[in-house]
A = this chain, B = another copy of it.
Amino acid sequence: MNILIADDEIEMLKILQSYFQREGFTVFIATNGEEALAIFYQEQIDLAILDWMMPKIDGIMVCREMKKTQKIKVLMLTARDADEDEFQALSDGADDYVNKPFYPKVLIMRVKKLLQIESIQHISDVSFDIVSKRVWRAGTEIELTKTEFELLRVFSQHRRQILTRDQLLDSVWGLDYIGDPRTVDTHIRRLREKIGEDIIQTHRGIGYSTSV
């Protein structure tokens, strides 16, 4: 999981970075809003921790910009006495906020909580955990192969969107993969067999989609 921390106090940054790294996160840091956005655009960030007060572009603006372009979790750091701002921060799309000063442990817990929401996904009666890569159907665990899991993941990430065979090849097999697009059919079939026939819909001449 990639997280981005933006704060103008270098000391704070360093401390948080080492804390989060110890927890297995990949950490990017920025000392102002502009830098934060630059990193955000270049990397695949799952969650951003943004300080409210930052030089150049402040936390709200950065948050707004991030939310505008991509699915990302944002956790705001606010000054202790900023009560009405809290509401604003949330209403502007921040997913959670933590008052300064805070215990790093608390922050880590909050972050984990936010990311956990994302880690288990549900499609109809099928659930799967992106982190542990386990899959359940109607409560009982089932086994998917690597490709089947990836397929399911991609479908889940684009619910109800029709994905062409080529799109699926690109995102599951990789952009550089060269092979028969019909291979996708076979894997869809195998996946359907395991998770149920109704979850993945065929759209003749176009591709496949989830039905929910």
Contacts and interface: CB of A to CB of B under 8 A. Distances in A.
A69 interface: yes
A68 interface: yes
> For this complex, into which size category does the number of interface residues on chain A fall?
20 to 34
Contact of A110 (B69, B109, B132, B162): B69
A132 B162 contact: yes
A140 interface: no
A121 interface: no
B103 A145 contact: no
Chain copies in the assembled complex: 2
B205 A146 contact: yes
A31 interface: no
Nearest to A108: B69
Interface in A99-152: 103, 105-106, 109-110, 113, 131-134, 145-146
A24 interface: yes
A109 B69 contact: yes
Nearest to A207: B133
B162 A113 contact: no
A26 interface: no
A54 B22 CA distance: 36
A61 interface: no
B70 A175 contact: no
A103 B70 CA distance: 14
Given A22-B175, A68-B113, 8 more contacts: A42-B103, A69-B113, A70-B109, A132-B161, A132-B209, A133-B162, A145-B204, A145-B205
10 contacts: A22-B175, A68-B110, A68-B113, A69-B109, A69-B110, A69-B113, A131-B161, A132-B161, A146-B205, A146-B206
